[in-house]
Amino acid sequence: MEFDIATFGCLVFDRATMKKHLPYPAFQKWEDTIERKTALDRSTADAIAHAMKEWAMAHGCTHYTHWFQPLNGTTAEKHESFLDRDEHDAPIMRFSGKSLIKGEPDASSFPSGGLRATFEARGYTYWDCTSPAFIQDNVLCIPTVFVAYTGEALDRKSPLLRSIDAIDRSATRMVNLLGDKQVHKVEPVVGLEQEYFLVDRDHYLKRLDLRLCGQTLFGRQAPKSQELEDHYFGHIPAKVQAFMDDLNVALWKLGIYAKTEHNEVAPNQFELAPIYGPVNIAVDQNQLIMAEIQSIARKHGLEALLHEKPFKGINGSGKHDNYSLVTDDGQNLFAPGEKPMENIRFLVFLSCFIAAVDEYAPLLRMAASTSAGNDLRLGADEAPPAVISIYLGSYLDQLLHGLLHPEDAHGSTKENHVVPPVSTLAYIPRDNTDRNRTSPMAFTGNKFEFRMLGSSMSASEVNTVLNTILAKKLDDVAIQLEGIKYIDQVRSKALTICIDLIKTHQRILFSGDGYSDQWIKQAEKRGLPHIRTVVDSYAILQDDSTIDLFEQYHIYTRKELESRQDVLYSQYEKTLEIESRTALHMITRHFLPSMVESLGKHGSALHVIGTTNAPHYLSTRVKQLGQWIDDLHEKSEKLRIDLKAVMEQSKSDHRKAALLARSTLVDDLTNVRMIVDEYEKNSSSEDYGLPTYDDILFALD
């Protein structure tokens, strides 16, 4: 396809398309709804639905679906045809406002954490008119929220939408208080960088662990891995380039501004970053990007792995969440401006952000890593540890130092010849972006980049938390500023508050190597929470501070939090159950028989040669194989027994089952892996019988 600008977004029913296809009053009413000025009335909804249907049919669609994001972290759809029977029994293609606005997918099998058990089994979908409808595989997809009969959220979008309202209110209030009265709206904007692996589909199909778990449960590092860093930004293999070209066409049509694509550090690892946009749309588009990556890879004989840690010993994949706030007149509230020291608004937003991240670090850690997969990534092979800290960069470090210690402002710091003294710090060069990639949360010029998020996860929870905790901190400050009469007094009071906030929360600031062991020790000394496994982070959802926060901002009710926690425990435990069953399956059906066969071969050779004449190698191998078979059998039996106990426990208590899975199955899986990996190291490719890391990771060209 030619990349003709006219075709950009041709599969999206966006603002321009709406304007073209709708009667003007209906278009205007829709715009008012987007601005949250009015609710959509029935006749406008009918007009929009009709226009949408005509447009979709012109693109070859016969079906539509309410597209939603249930708690299992995926997206869901149930296709419905436009086809209907009219009053005269004739066929007609019809799409009403009612069908656009509300759906009853009867999706009672999605996890609800018990929310629906006591009420109604049904869940309802409602149109989210702030995210545009689009066409995928000839189906008109309408982004929707998914809620229970009683109104409780059963999805990830509803809380995000509520949090967007919350941060809008609180940030606008603060901006107005600080003198910018013309600002009526503040919107969080987000850029999501997506990392993923590509592997040959033939290899993928031969490995049950890749197929069922998205990661290798067995496998040794290849003789070469990422030590030369020659894959990073390297030449993109032809097969991958062809895939990327197709991907770019698909994203182009979906109106997604795919901006950068490059090889990542690990072999076969790639990254795609679209241009940032309103958070709700960015999160939806990220789901589409993940889906497109997977389906287009298959068309090219490849398989995309979105798992956080598909291969042991090399980098895992994350999703970087670049976050900032913009006003309706286009100002970025995290832009330091030319004179950050005098930019009180910047200082307030910066210090509130720092305070929010410090105070709610466990919540952020939970939201960044809801899945078991990220546990394998965090703290390993160039991924941030599970401790949250913020890296500001030397300019802002100096600026804050100057705020806390004005007496040093003219003093000579070590870096005076590089960085101007704080008092004259009038200009932050445009290239002052972060160079510390070991930090989980880095200030990068005019936004914060949160790098903890797992690659396979929805980005909605993290942004729901960021919006809410920042809203809370801004309101805490606003309360102290309201009622002060003169703007100069407001500003000077705000500065004092900023200084206090930074003093209180400076323990969260860290500029050193976030990957080092010393940092972990120092962080623990500073009292920063280090929640090593994700399953321990779920407890925060029942903490009073969390419940108060979310209830205050109407993001989650106590009951919704309870249900979410239950779903998380259950997902964690189920993930480990699947991994355990897959490992057992591979051991019983493949590895043990393969070892026995190998033993047979070596044993016969030994028998033919005779033990006294046999080379040492042969007798050792026979002994080792016998030992591995016994060990693997024993350890896999333990895994089987522990798995049974977890499954039994999960019938009555998901939390207990998850904790049990963490304390038994994780180690059991490591133990069986160690034996199989040792076998792999010492056996011929033919005996081992599965594609190994060197096959999978160095075969794309």
- Interaction between residue 269 and ligand ADP (CB under 6 A): no
Comparison of 95 and 450: residue with beta carbon closer to ligand ADP: 450
Query: Which positions ≥6 away from 530 have C-beta within 8 Å?
Result: 385, 386, 387, 520, 523, 524
Number of residues that bind ligand ADP (CB under 6 A): 17
Shortest Cβ distance from residue 444 to Mg ion (Å)? 8
Instruction: Look up residue 419 and give its DSSP letter.
Output: S
Cβ closest to Mg ion, residue 444 vs residue 580: 444
Q: Name the minimum Å distance from CB 330 to Mg ion.
A: 24
Contact window for ligand ADP (CB under 6 A) among 189-197, 522-530, 587-595, 611-619: 189-197
**Three-state SS for 182?**
coil
Q: Quote the tokens at residue 219.
A: 């496998």
Q: DSSP character for 122? A: -
For the segment 55-74, give every residue that binds ligand ADP (CB under 6 A): none
Instruction: Return the one option of Mg ion, ligand ADP, none that residue 307 interacts with (CB less than 5 to 8 A, by type).
Output: none
The residue type found at 117 is A
Q: Shortest distance, CB of residue 241 to ligand ADP, whole angstroms?
A: 18
Q: How far is the CB of 276 from ligand ADP (least distance, A)?
A: 3
Binding mask 196-235 for Mg ion (x = CB under 5 A): ----------------------------------------
Name the minimum Å distance from CB 295 to ligand ADP.
Answer: 22
* Interface region with ligand ADP, contact rule CB under 6 A, candidates 318-326, 416-424, 560-568, 682-690: 318-326
Tell me if 345 contacts Mg ion by CB under 5 A.
no
Count of residues touching Mg ion (by CB under 5 A): 2
d(CA 317, CA 308): 5
Which amino acid is located at 580 in the chain?
A: S
Applying CB under 6 A, the span of 21-29, 270-278, 358-366, 690-698 interacting with ligand ADP comes to: 270-278
Binding partner selected for residue 510 from ligand ADP, Mg ion, none, CB under the kind-specific 5 to 8 Å limit: none
Bridge partners (DSSP) of residue 70 are 155
What is the nearest approach in angstroms of ligand ADP to the Cβ of residue 361?
21
- Site for Mg ion, residues 162 to 201, rule: CB under 5 A: 193
Q: Encoding tokens for residue 277?
A: 């946009």
For residues 620 and 623, give the distance between their C-alpha atoms in angstroms, rounded to a whole number: 5
Binding mask 400-439 for ligand ADP (x = CB under 6 A): ----------------------------------------
Stretch that binds ligand ADP, among 233-241, 292-300, 391-399, 446-454 (CB under 6 A): 446-454
- Number of Cβ atoms within 10 Å of the Cβ of 426: 12
* Number of residues that make up the chain: 701
- Residue number with CB closer to ligand ADP (276 or 349): 276
Return the number of the residue (146 or 196) whose C-beta is nearest Mg ion: 196
Q: How far is the CB of 367 from ligand ADP (least distance, A)?
A: 18
Find the part of the chain contacting Mg ion (CB under 5 A) among 63-71, 203-211, 239-247, 319-327: 319-327
Selected binder of ligand ADP within 72, 332, 624, 671 (CB under 6 A): 332
Kindly tell me which residue out of 117, 205, 275, 487 binds ligand ADP, with binding defined by CB under 6 A: 275
Look at the block and give the residue holding tokens 């073209």: 20
| Contact (Cβ atoms closer than 8 angstroms) between residue 514 and residue 528 | no
Contacts of ligand ADP in 157-176 (CB under 6 A): none
Smallest distance from the beta carbon of 378 to ligand ADP, in angstroms?
Answer: 18
CB 148 within 8 A of CB 119: yes
Helix 279-299 to helix 157-177 angle (10° resolution) is 140
Least distance (Å) from Mg ion to the CB of residue 191? Answer: 9
Q: Find how far residue 416's CA is from the centre of its chain.
A: 40
Nearer to ligand ADP, 147 or 333 (CB): 333
Under the binding rule (CB under 5 A), the answer on residue 673 touching Mg ion is no
Nearest to 352 by CA among 170, 477, 189: 477
Distance between terminal CA atoms of the chain?
24
- For residue 621, what are the contacts with CB-CB under 8 A and spacing of at least 6? 602, 682
Options 273, 304, 357, 497; binder of ligand ADP; rule CB under 6 A: 273
Which range touches ligand ADP (CB under 6 A), out of 14-22, 56-64, 321-329, 631-639?
Answer: 321-329
Instruction: Using alpha carbons, list the distances in angstroms from residue 660 to 279, 538, 579, 673.
Output: 36, 15, 15, 20
Tell me which of ligand ADP, Mg ion, none is bound by residue 189, counting a contact when its beta carbon lies within the kind-specific cut-off of 5 to 8 angstroms: ligand ADP
The torsion angles phi and psi of 592, rounded to 5 degrees, stand at -65, -50
Q: Which residues contact 282 (CB under 8 A, 6 or more apart)?
A: 189, 190, 191, 192, 274, 276, 459
β-sheet bridge partners, residue 365: none
Cα 274 from Cα 287, distance rounded (Å): 12
Q: Does 189 bind ligand ADP (CB under 6 A)?
A: yes
- 281 Rama sector, left if φ>0, alpha if ψ -120 to 50, beta otherwise: alpha
User: Could you tell me whether strands 186-200 and 269-274 are parallel, antiparallel, or unpaired per DSSP bridges?
Assistant: antiparallel
E strands, 275-402, are 277-278, 302-305, 319-327, 390-391
- Residue with tokens 């919107």, as numbered in its chain: 187
Residue 521, Cβ neighbours under 10 Å: how many? Answer: 11
Smallest distance from Mg ion to CB 439, Å: 11
d(CA 267, CA 269): 5
User: Is residue 292 close enough to count as binding ligand ADP by CB under 6 A?
Assistant: no
- Spell out the residues 6+ positions from residue 238 whose beta carbon is closer than 8 angstroms to its own: 701
- Candidates 128, 152, 168, 193; binder of ligand ADP (CB under 6 A) is 193
Among 162, 231, 320, 673, binds ligand ADP (CB under 6 A): 320
What is each CA distance from 578 to 249, 383, 659, in whole angstroms? 36, 25, 16
Among 320, 491, 505, 662, binds Mg ion (CB under 5 A): 320
CB of 188 to ligand ADP, least distance (A): 9
Least distance (Å) between residue 430 CB and ligand ADP: 12
Closest distance of CB 271 from ligand ADP, Å: 7
**Pairing relationship of beta strands 12-13 and 133-136 according to DSSP bridges:** antiparallel
Q: Which stretch binds ligand ADP (CB under 6 A): 267-275, 366-374, 381-389, 586-594?
A: 267-275
Q: Which residues contact 407 (CB under 8 A, 6 or more apart)?
A: none
Minimum distance between the CB of residue 264 and Mg ion, rounded to whole angstroms? 10
Window 473 to 532, contacts with ligand ADP (CB under 6 A): none
Using CB under 6 A, which of 253, 447, 473, 564 touches ligand ADP? 447
Q: In terms of DSSP H, where are the helices of 360-450?
A: 361-368, 373-377, 394-404
Q: Whose CA is closest to 198, among 227, 230, 238, 229?
A: 238
285, 446, 571, 692: which one contacts ligand ADP (CB under 6 A)?
446
Chain residues in the site for Mg ion (CB under 5 A): 193, 320
Chain residues in the site for ligand ADP (CB under 6 A): 189-191, 193, 260, 273-276, 320, 322-324, 332, 446-447, 449
